A and B are shown apart, each in its own frame.
Chain A
Amino acid sequence: MAEQPKKEVVLNATIEEPLDLLRLSLEERVHVKMRTDRELRGKLRAFDQHLNMVLSEVEEIVTTRETDEDTFEEIYRQTKRTVPMLFVRGDSVILVSPPVRAS
């Protein structure tokens, strides 16, 4: 039998394990969803198996929720700040989404 390439081709690239998705996103802007209602957008410079990451030109968006005392309306506030270079500890990462890839 002819040898078949074992690698599954998805997204125009070889992805065998989930971390390959990040490997393909190196030096690209990614969106990171963190615990405690934080989101980061920045260029992925480096990462490891714990999802520790180094991001540059980062925009951090923090969403806070407040309840209006009179109307009990929930108010969401977003505060943004930018950081030139950031190390993120992996344990607070929930989701990483690479930029939309042209198919």
Chain B
Amino acid sequence: MSRRQNPSEFLKKIIGKPVVVKLNSGVDYRGILACLDGFMNIALEQTEEYSNGQLQNKYGDAFIRGNNVLYISTSTK
């Protein structure tokens, strides 16, 4: 499906796509990845906050501080 690539190429490729960002606390954020930087600070659009699989909150835009990020995954939403 995709050529061999490194993590930052992957991150560049998924900008503008729906993603799930999981934080160390276990909370999930689902939204459109607007951009990210070298600290893994993340800007998300149309963000939904899920904790224990339940929708907790919605934010138009959200800035997530990079140190809290456990993983970023592409979502099929």
Contacts and interface: CB of A to CB of B under 8 A. Distances in A.
Nearest to B29: A95
B6 to A, nearest CB: 20
Nearest to B42: A18
A2 interface: no
A53 to B, nearest CB: 11
B39 to A, nearest CB: 8
A69 interface: no
Contacts of B60: 97-101
Interface string B47-77: 1000000000001111111011000000000
B63 A15 contact: no
Interface residues of A, number: 24
A18 B68 CA distance: 14
Contact of A10 (B29, B41, B45): B45
Describe B's contact surface by its main secondary structure.
strand
Nearest to A24: B61
DSSP class of A's interface residues: helix, strand, loop or mixed? mixed
A10 B63 contact: no
Contacts of A100: 60
Nearest to A91: B67
A96 interface: yes
B11 interface: no
Shortest beta-carbon contacts, A-B, top 10: A18-B43, A97-B59, A18-B41, A96-B63, A100-B60, A17-B37, A21-B43, A21-B63, A97-B62, A93-B65
Interface of A: 8, 10-11, 15-22, 31, 51, 90-91, 93-101
Interface of B: 23, 25, 29, 34-37, 41-43, 45, 47, 59-65, 67-68
